[in-house]
Structure 1
Amino acid sequence: MADAEMLTVFVYDVESDRTRRRLSAYLEDFAVRVQKSVFEARLTAARTQAVTRAAAALLDPGDSLRVYAVATVGRSRCHVVGGGPMLENEPYILL
């Protein structure tokens, strides 16, 4: 299924406060912040690529953005200790 959604994790390391604010504001439109520089979303592969390209354009030289797509089998092996729960397969997010 090419249009299947997967848990997608965005992790960044950005030096400039201004760039960090712009990047986090952009990611908040598509994902849920789970730590200061970590966001989770349920996205298709095409949407992940589009979000990643746009987010990368916001970065300065020396900054980094990592994007992890977690398939269903990998999701069953993920664990959370403390904090909120991982995003479920539901079409909505409870806050």
Structure 2
Amino acid sequence: MSRDTMLRVICYDVSSDVRRRKIARILEDRASRVQFSVFETRMTGAALARLVRDVEAHLGKDDSLRVYSISTTSERHCDTRGGLPIEPQGAYWLM
């Protein structure tokens, strides 16, 4: 895993149902949904830049997108209750 790979928390607020569905589909392909408009993933800065570019193409004037990058050091201070756990570091295979 690249040293640039970090936990990314991505959330959005989109007023249009059509745009919201498009953005959700983009994020569902590359991240894990943890709440209705909140996603988590581990990705590099370059992959994040591509993802943000793809989502931005569908944002309206009053919509918002937030991305929080959490370093390995800071991640030790994260705590979750219920829902999906934070994606573990390391590679794994789905079969």
TM-score normalised over the length of structure 1: 0.90
- Residue 83 of structure 2 corresponds to residue 83 of structure 1: yes
Provide structure 1 residue ranges, at least 5 long, that are not aligned to the other structure: none
- Residue 93 of structure 2 corresponds to residue 63 of structure 1: no
Other structure's SS at 1:87 match: coil
Do the aligned partners of residues 55 and 38 (structure 1) sit closer, same or farther apart at CA in structure 2, a change above 3 Å counting? same
Do the aligned partners of residues 54 and 11 (structure 1) sit closer, same or farther apart at CA in structure 2, a change above 3 Å counting? same
Output the aligned Cα RMSD: 1.9
Do the aligned partners of residues 29 and 66 (structure 1) sit closer, same or farther apart at CA in structure 2, a change above 3 Å counting? same
Whole-Å Cα distance in 2 between the matches of residues 10 and 57 of structure 1?
A: 16
Whole-Å Cα distance in 2 between the matches of residues 3 and 23 of structure 1?
A: 27
Other structure's SS at 1:60 match: coil
Partner residue in 1 for 2:8: 8
Contact kept, 8 Å, 1:3 with 1:45, in 2: the verdict is no
Partner residue in 2 for 1:73: 73
> How many residues of Structure 1 are paired with residues of Structure 2 in the alignment?
94
Whole-Å Cα distance in 1 between the matches of residues 89 and 3 of structure 2?
A: 14
Return structure 1 stretches of 4+ with deviation > 6 angstroms.
none
Identity score, percent:
43
What is the CA distance between 1:54 and its match in structure 2?
1.2
TM-score normalised over the length of structure 2: 0.90
Provide structure 2 residue ranges, at least 5 long, that are not aligned to the other structure: none
Deviations along 1:4-27, whole A, 9 cap, x unmatched? 310011100011111110000011
